[in-house]
Amino acid sequence: MSENHSGSSGLFVGGLFVGAVVGAVTGLLVAPRPGRETRHLIKKSADALPELVEDLSTSVQLQADRLSETALRNWDGTLGRLKEAIAAGLEASQREVQEIQQPEATADAEPRTPIRDSNMR
């Protein structure tokens, strides 16, 4: 269950960055400032945008790496359990075959008594 939370935390961080950028731009455009100041702030924000994108990209890459590692561990665990189950199934089927063959062998070894017809005397 914790693997599921780590995947959604990457989405949360990405959404947080996008929301911060949209909020900052909206705040700058709506703020009561002179045009020159607003343009200066927008330019500053635009200059910082590549760094934000790089941080977001790094965060997404880290989350993807964690997710792939988790998926690989889960696959390895599942594969191990599958191999164990197959081995147990083979072993059980071999025991069953032996149990089926064993009564046949004892039945063949026992002497058979002739069946007498009650009409024969």
In a domain, 40, yes or no: yes
Predicted pLDDT at 93: 93
pLDDT at 102 exceeding the cut of 60? yes
Predicted pLDDT at 81: 93
pLDDT at 43 exceeding the cut of 70? yes
In a domain, 26, yes or no: yes
pLDDT at 113 exceeding the cut of 90? no
Q: How confident is residue 4, by pLDDT bands cut at 50, 70 and 90? A: low
pLDDT at 44 exceeding the cut of 90? no
Q: How confident is residue 26, by pLDDT bands cut at 50, 70 and 90? A: confident
Q: Which domain holds residue 41?
A: 2-74
CA-CA distance, 30 to 28, in Å (whole number)? 6
In a domain, 16, yes or no: yes
Report the chain's terminal Cα–Cα distance, integer Å: 81
In a domain, 79, yes or no: no
Q: Which of 56, 26, 60, 20 is nearest to 41 (CA)?
A: 26
Place of tokens 């062998």: 105
Provide the number of structural domains found in the chain.
1
Query: Amino acid identity, residue 98?
Result: Q
Tell me which DSSP letter residue 118 carries: T
pLDDT at 1 exceeding the cut of 50? no
In a domain, 36, yes or no: yes
